[in-house]
């Protein structure tokens, strides 16, 4: 009985010492955590001053997502012998020259994806990776400052696919107007004079036209988080059927050194592309814009990221 009492006393004493030690360690940790937060705030403030200095500023981050799988005699599924996989690579980059009287902003967005689903029991089944997501967007914006937040500007933007059907369609926007920078890292472009050149084999559907161009871009680095959101819209003066818009977003969170987790997603509305696809799918070239639903196109990618 005495041994049991001594053992219980020792256990209680150990728990008490551990609890006391944990409380002491947490008490020591609290001011250090506050000090780190203060230092991080000072670092962010210095970085903001560096970003505001004239000259070239560069940045890039991207996401790599992928998986492969192999099933042999897995009878619980309809195709028991399957080799499958998908690979996706995205990239967001910018090169900006900021001066007292003018700026020159350049950006690139790429999203490429490949998929494979090979039924190994079917000799006619394709065993190669095929193109899936295919996005390429590059833009260049020059502006002469009228004030700290307003500038006259000229924009050149090109969008297409590069893995499949390069420049079919391809879109080239050339326009003039104003650029507004209401807050740091946010750029809003309003160009009432813009021509949307459309390059495509099916010229019965795709048509170039004059219209207005609106672009809103927000790019920021906050500690380990890199973020970019870009909305590019064209409103045709000739017909709403010739208008289009694309919204892309990229997020990268650095976990270790420059490696982390990345998430990209995009939305697009383009009635010309929807009609072209419907005509090709049905073989009916007599289909018109009023015969189709202009569904919102979308994609998303989650995977490892690497920040430059």
For residue 188, the SS3 value is strand
Task: Using the predicted structure, report yes or no on whether residue 240 has a pLDDT greater than 90.
Answer: yes
CA–CA separation, 105 vs 95, rounded Å?
6
Looking up tokens 């990345």, which residue turns up? Answer: 262
Query: Are the CB atoms for 225 and 252 separated by under 8 Å?
Result: yes
Task: Using the predicted structure, report yes or no on whether residue 14 has a pLDDT greater than 60.
Answer: no
Q: Looking at residue 268, what is its pLDDT?
A: 93
Q: Which CATH architecture has domain 56-307?
A: Beta Barrel (2.40)
What are the backbone dihedrals phi and psi of residue 99, each rounded to the nearest 5 degrees, phi first?
A: -125, 175
Task: Using the predicted structure, report yes or no on whether residue 13 has a pLDDT greater than 70.
Answer: no
Query: Are the CB atoms for 219 and 181 separated by under 8 Å?
Result: no
Per-residue tokens: 233: 């819209």
User: Whole-angstrom distance between the N-terminal and C-terminal Cα of the chain?
Assistant: 67
State pLDDT tens for residues 220-233: 888 888 889 999 99
Per domain, the residue ranges of the chain are 1-53, 56-307
Look at residues 20, 65, 37 and name the one whose alpha carbon lies nearest to residue 306: 65
Look at residues 308, 255, 266 and name the one whose alpha carbon lies nearest to residue 88: 266
Residue range 277-303: average pLDDT?
Answer: 88
Residue spans of beta strands (DSSP E) within the chain: 55-71, 82-98, 102-119, 130-145, 150-160, 170-180, 186-199, 209-222, 225-236, 244-256, 259-270, 297-307
Look at residues 199, 205, 192, 201 and name the one whose alpha carbon lies nearest to residue 271: 205
Q: Looking at residue 53, what is its pLDDT?
A: 67
Q: Looking at residue 37, what is its pLDDT?
A: 72
Q: Looking at residue 274, what is its pLDDT?
A: 93
CA–CA separation, 176 vs 141, rounded Å?
10
Query: Are the CB atoms for 213 and 189 separated by under 8 Å?
Result: yes
Task: Using the predicted structure, report yes or no on whether residue 16 has a pLDDT greater than 60.
Answer: no
pTM for this prediction: 0.76
Q: Which residue has the higher pLDDT, 243 or 185?
A: 243
Task: Using the predicted structure, report yes or no on whether residue 237 has a pLDDT greater than 80.
Answer: yes
For residue 12, the SS3 value is helix
Residue range 153-161: average pLDDT?
Answer: 95
Q: Looking at residue 127, what is its pLDDT?
A: 80
CA–CA separation, 93 vs 302, rounded Å?
18
Per-residue tokens: 205: 């559907």
Give the DSSP letter string of 73-139: S-TTSSSSSEEEEEEEEEEEEEEEEE-SSEEEEEEEEEEEEEEEEEETT-TTS--S-EEEEEEEEEE
CA–CA separation, 143 vs 155, rounded Å?
9
Q: How far is CA 195 from the centre of its chain?
A: 26
Task: Using the predicted structure, report yes or no on whether residue 15 has a pLDDT greater than 60.
Answer: no
Q: Looking at residue 19, what is its pLDDT?
A: 56
Average pLDDT of the residues of the chain: 85
State pLDDT tens for residues 76-119: 777 888 888 888 888 889 899 989 899 999 999 898 988 888 88
State pLDDT tens for residues 46-68: 766 666 667 788 888 787 877 77
pLDDT-above-90 percentage for the chain:
40
89 by Cβ neighbours in 10 Å (0-12 / 13-18 / 19+) ranks as middle
């Amino acid at each position: 009985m005495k041994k049991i009492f001594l053992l219980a006393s020792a256990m209680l004493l150990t728990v008490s010492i551990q609890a006391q030690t944990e409380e002491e360690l947490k008490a020591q940790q609290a001011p250090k955590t506050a000090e780190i937060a203060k230092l991080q705030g000072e670092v962010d403030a210095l970085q903001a001053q560096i970003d505001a200095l004239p000259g070239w500023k560069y940045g890039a981050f991207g996401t790599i997502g992928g998986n492969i799988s192999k099933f042999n005699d897995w009878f619980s599924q309809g195709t028991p012998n399957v080799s499958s996989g998908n690979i996706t690579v995205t990239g967001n980059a910018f090169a900006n020259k900021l001066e007292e009287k003018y700026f020159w902003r350049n950006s690139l967005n790429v999203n490429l994806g490949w998929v494979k689903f090979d039924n190994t029991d079917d000799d006619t089944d394709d065993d190669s990776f095929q193109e899936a997501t295919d996005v390429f967007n590059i833009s260049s914006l020059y502006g002469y400052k009228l004030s700290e937040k307003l500038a006259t500007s000229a924009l050149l933007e090109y969008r297409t696919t590069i893995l499949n059907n390069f420049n079919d369609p391809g879109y080239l926007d050339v326009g003039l107007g104003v650029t507004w920078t209401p807050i740091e890292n946010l750029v809003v472009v309003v160009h009432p004079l813009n021509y949307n050149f459309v390059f495509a084999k099916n010229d019965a559907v795709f048509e170039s036209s004059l219209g207005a161009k609106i672009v809103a871009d927000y790019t920021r680095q906050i500690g380990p988080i890199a973020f970019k959101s870009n909305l590019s819209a064209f409103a045709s003066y000739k017909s709403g059927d010739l208008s289009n818009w694309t919204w892309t977003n990229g997020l990268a969170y650095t976990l270790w050194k420059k490696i982390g987790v990345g998430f990209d997603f995009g939305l697009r509305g383009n009635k010309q592309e929807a009609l072209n696809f419907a005509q090709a799918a049905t073989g009916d070239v007599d289909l018109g814009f009023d015969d189709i639903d202009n569904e919102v196109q979308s994609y998303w990618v989650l995977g490892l990221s690497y920040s430059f």
